[in-house]
Amino acid sequence: MSAWRFSRYFLGSPPSITEARRFVTTLLQGSPSVDEAELIVSELATNAIRHSASGRFGGRFLVTVQAHPDRLWLGVLDEGGPSSPQIFCPSSEAEGGRGLLAVSTLALDWGVWGDDTGRTVWAVLPYQPQTAPC
C-alpha cells in the first residue's frame, strides 16, 4: 500500500485526545514516525477542544492521517471560532503557548486552512511505513 488516507470524527471532549492518539498509533504501527505523529495529533486535538467551537457541547473534530511514499500528512479539522492558531514566542513566565511551537519543531512543514466556520491545522512528517526487523 504506497499511499492511503484514513479520517475519523471524535467528540470534542478530553477523552477523545486519548482516542485520537490510539487512532494514529494503530494506523502507524511499526513506523519510526509514530511517536511524533501521536504527539502532533494530541496537541492539535487538544487545541481543537480548548480553542475552537469543537469543544462546545455536541462539537466534534476530524482527524486525518494520509501516507505518501515518504511523507505523512496529519490534519485536524475543527469547528472554527473567533481565535486563530498562532505560535507564541517562547516566554519562561507564560504557562501554555507551547503546543504549536512543539508541532512546528517536529514537523517538516505545518499550516492552517480555513476560517471561523472551521479550520484545519496540518503538519507533515517524514514517513517510512515500517522499520526493518533486522
DSSP letter at 70?
A: S
Q: Are the C-beta atoms of 73 and 33 separated by less than 8 Å?
A: no
38-57 residues in contact with Mg ion (CB under 5 A) are 47
Ranges assigned E (strand) in the chain: 4-11, 60-67, 71-77, 109-115, 118-126
Which of residues 61, 99, 123, 127 is near Mg ion by CB under 5 A?
Answer: 99
Interaction pattern, residues 115-134, with ligand ATP; x per rule: CB under 6 A: ----x-x-------------
* Count of residues that bind ligand ATP according to CB under 6 A: 20
Distance CA 41, CA 75 (A): 8
Residue in the block written with cell 471524535? 10
In the chain, which ranges are continuous DSSP H helix? 15-27, 34-51, 99-106
Query: Within 54-93, which residues bind ligand ATP (CB under 6 A)?
Result: 78, 81, 83-86, 88
Residues between 103 and 132 with contacts to Mg ion, criterion CB under 5 A: none
Q: Which region, judged by CB under 6 A, interacts with ligand ATP, from 5-13, 21-29, 33-41, 46-54?
A: 46-54
Q: Label the pairing between strands 71-77 and 109-115.
A: unpaired
Residue 12 binds which entry of Mg ion, ligand ATP, none, with Cβ cut-offs from 5 to 8 Å by kind? none
Residues that bind ligand ATP (CB under 6 A): 47-48, 50-52, 78, 81, 83-86, 88, 96-101, 119, 121
The residues of the shown chain that bind Mg ion, judged by CB under 5 A, are 47, 99
